[in-house]
Amino acid sequence: MSITDEQLTRLNAEIEKAQAKIKAYQQKLTRLTEKKKALQDRALLEKINEIAPSYKDAQQMLDMLAAGQHTADTGALRMKRNETNRITDEQIARAREVDLVSFLNRYEPAGELKRIGQSWTLKSHDSMRISADGRWNWFSQGMGGGDAISYLQAVHHMTFQEAVQTLAGGDYPKTAAKPQPRATPDREPFRLPERAENNRRVFAYLSARGIDAEIINHCMKAGSLYEESGHHNAVFVGQDENDMPRYAFLRGTMTGSHFRQEQKGSDKSFGFCLRGTGHTLYVCEAAIDALSVATLRKLGGRDWRKDNYLSLGGVTAAQDKLPPALERQLRSSSFKQVILCLDHDPAGQAASRNIFRLMREQWPDISLKICEPQAKDFNEQLCIKRSGNEQKPPSRGTREYALPR
């Protein structure tokens, strides 16, 4: 049977690929063999260090092992080790000052410590997070600490004495002194901006942004939305459990205005919120997004009054705690489901993932969902939907319903 040149070329190519695979496997096997030997050597050294506290004793132990001797001298070495296990207050203080990141750069194998943003993780434990000030959290194990001693105890299973001796016996950089917390100034007394005679401009502004008239009226009646007298800004009010104002966010209503500002003295844990009768909470960045989500649900034929809609007043890069407005809502109400409706931008989506992770850890019984807008945010998505549906603006009679009697 004759073989064509094309078949021969393909066969040679397959042979070369097979040879390349074999070579790669051989290289991998060589690396694994070297790693196994290194681990065995490390395990042997650790065992020697456990028994022999000094270099002289370690050398003696190596000589004994090389000669195959197992005598009562090993027992003597163990007794000596127990005596030297005692640690001083000075050693403990020196160990606590060791910079964890610098220590791990020397102690761990090359490439084990990896930088992620402002923190570090481990190649072998990707749920580990280590901060520059020495704090660490091993999320998959539910463990954490504030210095290198606790890290060695938890991750490398050392005793307290072993961890202190390991850290105090080396020339490791010290953790940078933590700045003293500044005295928190007293919060300025909170006062709502003066109300305008009517809410016409705010109503017209929100209507132009696609917000449903019934929802606007509902907020105005509840005292969580009104028009400010000085510049006719929309004022979104956050209230406590007794409907007392504790927070206010001002947003410009003039064409082309980008004015946004929190009222002085506001408590950010009391975010603008539409409270419903049900157990579902929609979490948004801005108040107008919360109103937009409620409007979209109404347009979809849902009873928007049953659900709750919370504005966080923006998002931050904080990775270790929930936004204060969400934290307070979770502690003061019994929600069965939380739906994150943050903006479709890097900051909003990063905040969604972080809040999702923290709630999984702290509120495991609450069902969680992330709902991303198709546009930049849910108000923009609402405006697109309104323009497509060609819905008429509310009548003057409906608008006047929002005015004070």
The one-character DSSP state at 156 is S
Q: What percent of the chain has pLDDT over 90?
A: 37
pLDDT of residue 309: 97
Is the pLDDT score of 246 beyond 90? yes
Supply the DSSP string of 223-244, one letter for each residue. TSEEEBTTT--EEEEEE-TTS-
Is the pLDDT score of 215 beyond 90? yes
CB atoms inside a 10 Å sphere around CB 373: 23
| Nearest residue to 166 via CA among 182, 149, 141, 191 | 149
pLDDT of residue 87: 76
Question: Exposed (0-12), middle (13-18) or buried (19+): which is 227, by Cβ within 10 Å?
Answer: buried
Structure tokens at 207: 């209507």
Residues 95/167, Cβ–Cβ less than 8 Å: yes
pLDDT of residue 251: 94
pLDDT of residue 139: 75
Question: Exposed (0-12), middle (13-18) or buried (19+): which is 266, by Cβ within 10 Å?
Answer: buried
Structure tokens at 133: 């000030």
| Nearest residue to 387 via CA among 375, 372, 371 | 375
pLDDT category, 305, cuts 50, 70, 90? very high
Mean pLDDT of all residues belonging to the chain: 80
Is the pLDDT score of 389 beyond 60? no
Is the pLDDT score of 250 beyond 80? yes
Using DSSP's 3-state secondary structure scheme, residue 73 falls into helix
Average pLDDT, integer, range 37-63:
54
Average pLDDT, integer, range 330-338:
90
pLDDT of residue 266: 92
pLDDT category, 104, cuts 50, 70, 90? confident
Is the pLDDT score of 69 beyond 60? no
Question: Please, which residues have CB within 8 angstroms of residue 250's CB and are 6 or more apart in sequence?
Answer: 193, 228, 233, 234, 235, 236, 259, 260, 261, 262, 263
Number of residues assigned to the chain: 405
Is the pLDDT score of 125 beyond 50? yes
Question: Looking at per-residue confidence, does 340 or 115 come out higher?
Answer: 340
pLDDT of residue 42: 58
Residues 300/294, Cβ–Cβ less than 8 Å: no
Average pLDDT, integer, range 99-112:
83
Average pLDDT, integer, range 69-74:
46
Write down all domains in the chain, each with its CATH number in brackets.
200-400 (3.40.1360.10)
Average pLDDT, integer, range 202-223:
95
| Residue 273 bridge partners (DSSP) | 310
Distance of CA 245 to the CA centre of its chain: 30
Gap between the terminal Cα atoms of the chain: 102
List of E strands, 97-224: 113-116, 119-122, 128-130, 136-138, 143-145
pLDDT of residue 105: 84
Q: Which residues of 338-358 are buried (b: 16+ CB within 10 A; e: fewer)?
A: bbbbbbbeeebbebbebbeeb
Nearest-angstrom CA–CA distance, 385 and 299: 10
Q: Which of 37-41, 144-148, 249-253 has the highest mean pLDDT?
A: 249-253
Nearest-angstrom CA–CA distance, 98 and 267: 39
Question: Exposed (0-12), middle (13-18) or buried (19+): which is 216, by Cβ within 10 Å?
Answer: buried
Average pLDDT, integer, range 135-162:
82
Residues 215/295, Cβ–Cβ less than 8 Å: yes
Is the pLDDT score of 72 beyond 60? no
pLDDT of residue 2: 67
pLDDT of residue 70: 47
| Nearest residue to 245 via CA among 190, 198, 169 | 190
Is the pLDDT score of 325 beyond 70? yes
Supply the DSSP string of 333-395, one letter for each residue. S--SEEEE---SSHHHHHHHHHHHHHHHHH-TTSEEEE---SSSSHHHHHHHHHHHHTPPPPP
Q: What percent of the chain has pLDDT over 70?
A: 77
